[in-house]
Chain A
Amino acid sequence: MARRSFKAGLVAGTLALALIASGCGDSKESSSSTTKADSSKTSDELAKTDCGSLEYDKDAPSGGTFTDYAYLSDSGTNTSFDPGAVQTLSESQITTALFDGLTEFDFTEKCAPKLKGQVAESWEANDDATEYTFKIKDDQVFSDGTPVLPSNFKAAWERNGSAELASAYGYLVTYIEGGAELQEGTTDELSGVTADDDAMTLTVKLSAANADFPSIVSHPFFSPANTKDLEKVGNTTGWGDKGLTIGNGPFVLDTANDQEVVLTPNDKWAGNVYGDTEVKLDKLVFKQTIDVETAFQAFEAGEGDDAPVPSGKYQDALDTYPNNSIVDPNLGSYYFDFGADDPQVGGEDNVKLRQAISLAIDRDELNTKVYEDTRTISTGLVPPGTPGYKEGLCDYCKLDVDQAKKLYQEWQDEGGKLTGPIKINFNEGGSHGDVAAIIQSNLKDNLGIDTELAGVAEDYFKVVAEPGGCNFCRSGWYADYPTYGNFMVDLFSAASIGGNNFGRFDDPKFEDLIAQAQAEPDDAKRGELYNQAESYMLNDQTAAVPLVWYTGSQVFRDSVQNYDQPPLGIMLWERISVGDAAGG
């Protein structure tokens, strides 16, 4: 659940697989210059083409130090890179460099990621997707040389999901049978998990059918824990070695303090899902900076190898730095919800009004004026790069004033009448107010509809999650893990009302479709079911108005090679090369 925090955190300034989500802010992420999508393309074009493929030069030089200024550039929000406690996409860059989980996505084709076994050799599901058995590879070891066993996963999940640790992502354990009790603190054991170290199998019973579970365990929360490390920290956590640090990923932790986190290669690393077994760098340094502007200015002064681009400087950065990720697609979606319980816009009687509103919004204007033409205009809610993604699912995600007027007139002819201005809810700060103002202007100019800007200063998402809190309310989502369900279920299911389903959308047909999808083990069929669910939600019910999809936000030096960010936002640090000239 990332609303631009594991997302956003996962950059703020805070995506990854896993992850981490960075929330709803205006963060962006990145990838390499050679594969970036053209920002001038419409989303139709983007979806038709693809997002490109990950560039990797295996022969790039090894050695040297890469100094990152991009990811820990909001140090006041840094919490932990312990897999059990990590919250942001930024910090998960370190977590995923230290830990490998059961599964991982192969983003070689950025818009067609493939889920592969990382520590898991294979997995099997029962017929109704309520039980999974993962076979663990027998060549996996932690950086201290001890083997990675099924019990290391079970112990880690019990610790990460414990009430005492109180992880912000602790709710993920409730997907597993017994997880809810673990979260409540009534038990220390995860009853749904059976670890057989002799057979090297991990059997997981779920609390409900979920065909996306093998994808979900790619989240860092489900990483294994080294026994000695676990004995040392128990159900506590903190920055650096106060949390879990002995991993099985490509790097090991050297030092971590309030200035920097230093990683060095793990010579016992077994390799990634791309087949890489080599870490190019001698040292990877994550510098903590107080804010994005400070980090970017340091980069401009020749310090560091990459940096985040501050809001408002994207076009300048595009012009100045050919090596950037500013137009690379990220798995994030920016949209508005209609409040189902709002008497003016909610309910079956107001579908045509909602469709008219969606058609009357000029997304090009919004992208140009607010995002400097660096985001991709949505043609659906779920962004490209999500398995099962289908282009152009939304019939009302385009500017068509004539059609909007026609639908609005039909709605009025059928007895519809606005009794007052429609409230546009948004969180103050960032550029959300600018977006709301453009929508207000569009609706007035194109349909003559009066609206009221209703900014919320604090705890916006809590406010709009309350009954009646969302009229026409801003939202945004960065994928925690690249699954269709992470958008459809987490944002629009009845179970998410009071959570991240701010519009309180509750529709039996939609519920039936996502339930079928969650229980469908066949990837293609599951994708089709989710496509139907999304189409129904956007077109037949128009419960939400997608606006733009997120893109990246980093620049990097000419000497850096293989700096190509997968859409989830987690860098493949093992591939980074600083070339002959670098050194950090």
Chain B
Amino acid sequence: MGSFLLRRTLQLILVLWGGATLLFIIFNALPTNPAERFASGNGNRNPNPQVVENLEKKFGIDKPVPEQYVDYMTGLLHGDFGNSYVNSEPVSDIIKQKLPPSLRLAFWAIVVESVIGISAGALSARKRNSVGDWVTTLTAVILSAIPVFVLAYLIKQVTGVYAYQHDWPSWASFPTIGYGPNEYFLGIIPVNGTWKYMVQPVFVLASVGTAILARITRTSMLETMRLDHVRTARAKGLTEKKVMSRHVRRNAMIPVVTVIGIDFGTLVGAAILTETVFNLPGLGSTIVAGAKAFDAPVVMGLTIIVTLVYGLASMAVDISYAYFDPRVKLGDDR
């Protein structure tokens, strides 16, 4: 276990360095000068040359590229991600602002995905070809097919705009944007009305993942149910309930856990549309805004964090394999 963690940690550091270097190269290969971009008000006017020169000095991009690279990497080693070109904010402060909302959103989306997706998939597998199975399958296909921003817009139109215009009771109407009071118990459980602001974004963000998880759970369970040891368990006279809980679910969980882990890593950094439509600025939407403004420090800093979260989630998935399948030996290279 120790050697596994050490090896994966070193791999993760290598990935972070590679990602940061790649982004640095990309930003420096772009023809757009961020100082000109900023001085022009995002391209809305022709920039003043002296202002551009001053901004280049301020941003540190007047130095030779290798020197900029060394400066950036040295900063990273000291936890300094640089300052945003757009608002001069230290990127580390931006990370502190944007990471918690992204983690909360992804966490609750994963909870919804796991509870609904796995339950529906398991039900579907156990009651194969039943009405419930068909409903689950159809719902999963529809949810997978609807783009997130369309689903979000439609939900907001109904529970926000239509509800307001037709005086729906408060329990049936939801705020369309923002965090509301933004208060949480233990940093994760929304309280004092904050939950009402999170319900819709969480369900929208979880929609596609729930559908995929339901399908994977169903398939995985059906495959497991056909295995010899399950047949043996039934032949031994175990009840169907015990067969499912002891021999099917646990074995069927490996692909499911893989999807959940990867999905969490993805949701933290790529919930761009949900964050945008519900105005919950997190890592994803901030990276996109930064890319549009050629704000290299913000894009690179936040991408490193997303990569880190993704890497940690992936590592957690690998560790979980040992629980679900005792044959898996962490640290064993064979």
Q: Tell me which residues across on chain A come within 8 A of B50, comparing CB atoms.
A: 170-171, 174, 180, 183-184
Q: Does B40 contact A (CB under 8 A)?
A: yes
A6-B41, A291-B276 known; A301-B163 Cβ under 8 A: yes
CB distance from B135 to the nearest CB of A (A): 31
Annotate A454-465 by CB proximity to B: 1 below 8 A, 0 otherwise. 000011111001
Q: Tell me which residues across on chain B come within 8 A of A6, comparing CB atoms.
A: 41
Q: Does B142 contact A (CB under 8 A)?
A: no
Contacting residue for A239 out of B89, B179, B289, CB 8 A: B89
Interchain CB contact under 8 A, B164 and A242:
no
Q: Does B129 contact A (CB under 8 A)?
A: no
Tier of interface size on chain A: 35 or more
Q: How many angstroms between the C-alpha atoms of A84 and B178 in the bound complex?
A: 30
Residue of A nearest to B35 (CB): A166
Q: Tell me which residues across on chain B come within 8 A of A565, comparing CB atoms.
A: none
Q: Tell me which residues across on chain B come within 8 A of A167, comparing CB atoms.
A: 51
Annotate B54-84 by CB proximity to A: 1 below 8 A, 0 otherwise. 1101100000000000000000000000000
Residue of A nearest to B182 (CB): A259
Q: Tell me which residues across on chain A come within 8 A of B55, comparing CB atoms.
A: 166, 168
| Max chain B C-beta neighbours (<10 A), residue from A1, A8, A298, A301 | A301
A76-B292, A297-B160 known; A8-B87 Cβ under 8 A: no
Q: How many angstroms between the C-alpha atoms of A88 and B32 in the bound complex?
A: 21
A168-B51, A170-B51, A294-B277 known; A458-B177 Cβ under 8 A: no
CB distance from A278 to the nearest CB of B (A): 31
CB distance from B329 to the nearest CB of A (A): 46
Q: How many angstroms between the C-alpha atoms of A542 and B210 in the bound complex?
A: 63
Contacting residue for B41 out of A168, A183, A288, A460, CB 8 A: A168
Q: Does B263 contact A (CB under 8 A)?
A: no
Contacting residue for A298 out of B58, B279, B293, CB 8 A: B279
Interchain CB contact under 8 A, A290 and B281:
yes
Q: How many angstroms between the C-alpha atoms of A487 and B174 in the bound complex?
A: 47
Q: Tell me which residues across on chain B come within 8 A of A25, comparing CB atoms.
A: 44
Contacting residue for B87 out of A79, A164, A185, A461, CB 8 A: A79
Q: How many angstroms between the C-alpha atoms of A4 and B37 in the bound complex?
A: 14
Q: Tell me which residues across on chain A come within 8 A of B178, comparing CB atoms.
A: 259, 287
Contacting residue for A303 out of B31, B87, B175, B276, CB 8 A: B175
Interchain CB contact under 8 A, B276 and A500:
no
- How many chain B residues touch A (CB < 8 A): the figure is 54
Among A162-188, those with CB < 8 Å from B are: 163-168, 170-171, 174, 180, 183-185
Interchain CB contact under 8 A, B40 and A80:
no
Interchain CB contact under 8 A, A239 and B87:
yes
Interchain CB contact under 8 A, B41 and A170:
no
Interchain CB contact under 8 A, B45 and A301:
no
Q: Tell me which residues across on chain B come within 8 A of A458, comparing CB atoms.
A: 31-32, 43
CB distance from A81 to the nearest CB of B (A): 10
Among B137-156, those with CB < 8 Å from A are: 153, 156
Interchain CB contact under 8 A, B43 and A460:
yes
Among B166-180, those with CB < 8 Å from A are: 175-179
| Max chain B C-beta neighbours (<10 A), residue from A80, A259, A287, A295 | A259
Interchain CB contact under 8 A, B54 and A23:
no
Q: Tell me which residues across on chain B come within 8 A of A461, comparing CB atoms.
A: 40, 43-46
Q: Tell me which residues across on chain A come within 8 A of B290, comparing CB atoms.
A: 76
Q: Tell me which residues across on chain A come within 8 A of B43, comparing CB atoms.
A: 427, 458-461
Interchain CB contact under 8 A, A1 and B45:
yes
Annotate A131-171 by CB proximity to B: 1 below 8 A, 0 otherwise. 00000000000000000000000000000000111111011
Q: Tell me which residues across on chain A come within 8 A of B156, comparing CB atoms.
A: 297, 301
Q: Tell me which residues across on chain A come within 8 A of B292, comparing CB atoms.
A: 76
Q: Tell me which residues across on chain A come within 8 A of B113, comparing CB atoms.
A: none
Residue of B nearest to A171 (CB): B48
Contacting residue for A242 out of B45, B46, B88, B97, CB 8 A: B88
Residue of B nearest to A73 (CB): B279
Q: Does A5 contact B (CB under 8 A)?
A: yes
Residue of B nearest to A291 (CB): B276
Interchain CB contact under 8 A, B45 and A23:
yes
| Max chain A C-beta neighbours (<10 A), residue from B98, B176, B279 | B279
Q: How many angstroms between the C-alpha atoms of A8 and B41 in the bound complex?
A: 9
Q: Tell me which residues across on chain B come within 8 A of A168, comparing CB atoms.
A: 38-39, 41, 47-48, 51, 55
Q: Does A3 contact B (CB under 8 A)?
A: yes
Interchain CB contact under 8 A, A499 and B276:
no
Contacting residue for B57 out of A166, A237, A427, A498, CB 8 A: A166
Q: Does B133 contact A (CB under 8 A)?
A: no
Q: Tell me which residues across on chain A come within 8 A of B41, comparing CB atoms.
A: 2-3, 5-6, 8-9, 21-23, 87-88, 168
Q: Tell me which residues across on chain B come within 8 A of A77, comparing CB atoms.
A: 42, 86, 289, 293
Q: How many angstroms between the C-alpha atoms of A411 and B88 in the bound complex?
A: 55
CB distance from B176 to the nearest CB of A (A): 5
Q: How many angstroms between the C-alpha atoms of A59 and B243 in the bound complex?
A: 77
Residue of B nearest to A490 (CB): B45
Residue of B nearest to A10 (CB): B41
Annotate B76-116 by CB proximity to A: 1 below 8 A, 0 otherwise. 00000000001111000000011000000000000000000
Q: How many angstroms between the C-alpha atoms of A76 and B276 in the bound complex?
A: 11
Q: Does B161 contact A (CB under 8 A)?
A: yes
Q: Does B217 contact A (CB under 8 A)?
A: no
Q: How many angstroms between the C-alpha atoms of A458 and B294 in the bound complex?
A: 12
Q: How many angstroms between the C-alpha atoms of A6 and B40 in the bound complex?
A: 11
Q: How many angstroms between the C-alpha atoms of A9 and B44 in the bound complex?
A: 9
CB distance from A339 to the nearest CB of B (A): 15
Interchain CB contact under 8 A, A24 and B45:
yes
Q: Does A238 contact B (CB under 8 A)?
A: yes
Q: How many angstroms between the C-alpha atoms of A4 and B278 in the bound complex?
A: 27
Interchain CB contact under 8 A, B88 and A237:
yes
Q: How many angstroms between the C-alpha atoms of A357 and B312 in the bound complex?
A: 63
Q: How many angstroms between the C-alpha atoms of A180 and B38 in the bound complex?
A: 20
Q: How many angstroms between the C-alpha atoms of A239 and B86 in the bound complex?
A: 10
Annotate B269-296 by CB proximity to A: 1 below 8 A, 0 otherwise. 0000001111101000110111011000
| Max chain B C-beta neighbours (<10 A), residue from A1, A23, A183, A290 | A290
Q: How many angstroms between the C-alpha atoms of A263 and B264 in the bound complex?
A: 38
Interchain CB contact under 8 A, B276 and A163:
no
Q: Tell me which residues across on chain A come within 8 A of B276, comparing CB atoms.
A: 290-291, 294
Q: Does A245 contact B (CB under 8 A)?
A: no
A25-B44, A88-B41, A294-B276 known; A166-B163 Cβ under 8 A: no
Interchain CB contact under 8 A, A8 and B89:
no
Q: Does A128 contact B (CB under 8 A)?
A: no
Q: How many angstroms between the C-alpha atoms of A155 and B29 in the bound complex?
A: 40
Interchain CB contact under 8 A, B45 and A500:
yes
Q: Tell me which residues across on chain A come within 8 A of B57, comparing CB atoms.
A: 163, 166, 185
In the complex, besides A183-B50, A184-B50, A500-B45, 5 extra interface pairs with C-beta distance below 8 angstroms are A3-B46, A76-B292, A242-B88, A462-B36, A499-B48
* 22 residue pairs from A and B, CB less than 8 Å apart: A3-B45, A5-B44, A24-B44, A77-B86, A80-B88, A166-B51, A168-B38, A168-B47, A174-B50, A184-B50, A242-B89, A257-B97, A259-B178, A290-B279, A297-B157, A300-B164, A301-B176, A302-B160, A303-B176, A459-B36, A461-B44, A499-B48
Q: Which 5 A-B pairs have the closest CB atoms?
A: A23-B44, A76-B289, A5-B41, A301-B160, A3-B45
B interface residues (Cβ-Cβ under 8 A, vs A): 31-32, 36-48, 50-51, 54-55, 57-58, 86-89, 97-98, 153, 156-157, 160-161, 163-165, 175-179, 182, 275-279, 281, 285-286, 288-290, 292-293
A interface residues (Cβ-Cβ under 8 A, vs B): 1-9, 21-25, 75-80, 85, 87-88, 163-168, 170-171, 174, 180, 183-185, 236-239, 242, 257-259, 287-291, 294-295, 297-298, 300-303, 427, 458-462, 465, 498-500, 502
